[in-house]
Amino acid sequence: MFPGHPISKLISKHPTPSYTRLPRYTSPRFRIPRARTMSTTAPRADPFRPARRVAGQRQDVWSIVNEAAAASPVQPIVNMGQGFFGYNPPQFAIDAAKEALDRVECNQYSPTKGRPRLKKAIADAFSPSFGRTLNPETEVTITTGANEGMLSAFMGFIEPGDEVIIFEPFFDQYISNIEMPGGTIRYVPLHPPKDGATRTSPASEWTIDYQELESAINPKTKMIVLNSPHNPVGKVFSREELEKIGELCIKHNLIILSDEVYDRLYYVPFTRIATLSPELYERTLTVGSAGKAFYATGWRVGYLIGPEHLIKYVAGAHTRICYSSVSPLQEAAAVAFEQADKTGFWEESRTEMRNKMERFCEVFTELNIPYSDPEGGYFVLANMASVKLPEDYPFPPHVASRPRDFKLCWFLIHEVGVAAIPPTEFYTDANARIAEDYLRFAVCKNDDVLETAKERLRGLKKYIV
């Protein structure tokens, strides 16, 4: 390992027959006598057993959907399940990525907190909606996607035993991100409209019971996670709702992690909780995603915005987890933020997505399938209570044992060739009933794909009672 180094010479000249072989550069002082090791150390019974944090018992929803898709007689299936885009980022972002690859410094490590140009572009792009001049050096940090950004936030603040509140349904990654540093989760359900099975209603009708929320808070509670616009409900939390949540967070002295990755896609007025008062800014980490903003989920560029006393510890955890994030795509994201306002991209993106949503949902109206009309984002929850699943339908056991939405999902893939996501995956078992008649569709797909999906979904007519 260190050719020519005195220790290397010493070790190669004097092999160590009576010692367990350790790395060659280990000082002889630390070698363990072989006989002692062999007599006291029993071999591990199960060295390949994975750590509990990665060893889920149940098959996850993504692999069930993929398995169903592969086995479906209708090929190829139309995949409206996962929230990835069916089209490319805007040309200015693609060009910037290509140019970045030609620059030496863009192919090397970036500063751990992110490239200065990207932090500045984000501070400039977000200062107007934050109503303050954000300091790019202290109030912005770059992460490897929003997901790793949130992991870093929990790693930065959660100790074993600390509690974190999340609303159900939740973005599934929150769970492991909170549990990895040893946090305990308290779940508070969003309540759907009571007549969701018979009436299309705005996503705002999924509501919070504030007493239920406050009773989930105790002296161990350290953080609360909000998500607006919400995945999968499509709810944009109103100013009044955020004020009430904010009051509770101030009263109980909680950190707020506000996941706003769909912040450019809102169809009703959108409020950031961090902007409601200086007290709320001081306790809020706002999370964003260049992947969601620029149709580039594979770029893995995310960011957090907040006060210095919170951001510096998120950045500290991120340094331990990934060191720094992908350089050329940070540079490209910087150019994309610089260009987006100038080119009217945000407006265009919002209008385009809203149109996709409206056109796609026409098929539910046609079929008399009620849905939760999204106020933001690109997911829609359709209530399929009226779809009658044949009694003797051959669901495989791992689907038959899950709530009804998993069966609906399997059935749709096999009978009409359209994949959607069963939202009970975003619930604890205790509350899964709330969503078992719904399926989640992602509309961030090309228009021809949406049209094919609509045509296929019309095939459900004969199962609707």
Ligand X SMILES: Cc1ncc(COP(=O)(O)O)c(C=O)c1O
Contact positions toward ligand X, by CB under 6 A?
Answer: 83, 145-147, 171, 227, 231, 259, 261, 289, 291-292, 297, 302
Nearer to ligand X, 81 or 196 (CB): 81
Nearer to ligand X, 90 or 370 (CB): 90
Q: Say if strands 438-442 and 78-79 run parallel, antiparallel, or are unpaired.
A: unpaired
Q: Cβ of residue 332: shortest distance to ligand X, in angstroms? A: 15
Nearer to ligand X, 154 or 171 (CB): 171
Q: Cβ of residue 212: shortest distance to ligand X, in angstroms? A: 22
Q: Cβ of residue 261: shortest distance to ligand X, in angstroms? A: 4
Q: Cβ of residue 79: shortest distance to ligand X, in angstroms? A: 15
First to last CA, the chain: 73
Q: How is residue 117 written in tokens?
A: 């140009």
Rg over alpha carbons for the chain, rounded to the nearest Å, is 25
C-beta separation of 395 from 407 below 8 A: yes
Nearer to ligand X, 336 or 363 (CB): 336
| Residue of minimal Cβ distance to ligand X | 145
C-beta separation of 185 from 163 below 8 A: yes
Pick from 390, 393, 356, 372: nearest CA to 440: 372
- Dist. CA 334–CA 329, nearest whole Å: 8
Query: What does each C-alpha distance from 82 to 85, 262, 423 come to in angstroms?
Result: 9, 15, 12
Q: Count of alpha carbons within 13 Å of 25, Cβ hemisphere only?
A: 5
Q: Cβ of residue 422: shortest distance to ligand X, in angstroms? A: 16
Q: Cβ of residue 145: shortest distance to ligand X, in angstroms? A: 3
C-beta separation of 26 from 1 below 8 A: no
- Dist. CA 311–CA 296, nearest whole Å: 24
Nearer to ligand X, 110 or 297 (CB): 297
- Dist. CA 230–CA 376, nearest whole Å: 7
Q: Cβ of residue 171: shortest distance to ligand X, in angstroms? A: 4
Nearer to ligand X, 379 or 410 (CB): 379
Nearer to ligand X, 83 or 183 (CB): 83
Nearer to ligand X, 72 or 227 (CB): 227
Q: How is residue 113 written in tokens?
A: 């907190």
Nearer to ligand X, 171 or 206 (CB): 171
Q: Cβ of residue 155: shortest distance to ligand X, in angstroms? A: 15
Exposed/middle/buried for residue 10 (C-beta within 10 Å: 0-12, 13-18, 19+): exposed
Nearer to ligand X, 265 or 399 (CB): 265
Q: Cβ of residue 328: shortest distance to ligand X, in angstroms? A: 17
Q: Cβ of residue 215: shortest distance to ligand X, in angstroms? A: 25
Query: What does each C-alpha distance from 54 to 177, 367, 376, 378 come to in angstroms?
Result: 11, 41, 32, 29
Q: Give DSSP secondary structure letters for 189-253.
A: EPBPPTTTTT--EEGGGSB--HHHHHHT--TTEEEEEEESS-TTT-----HHHHHHHHHHHHHTT
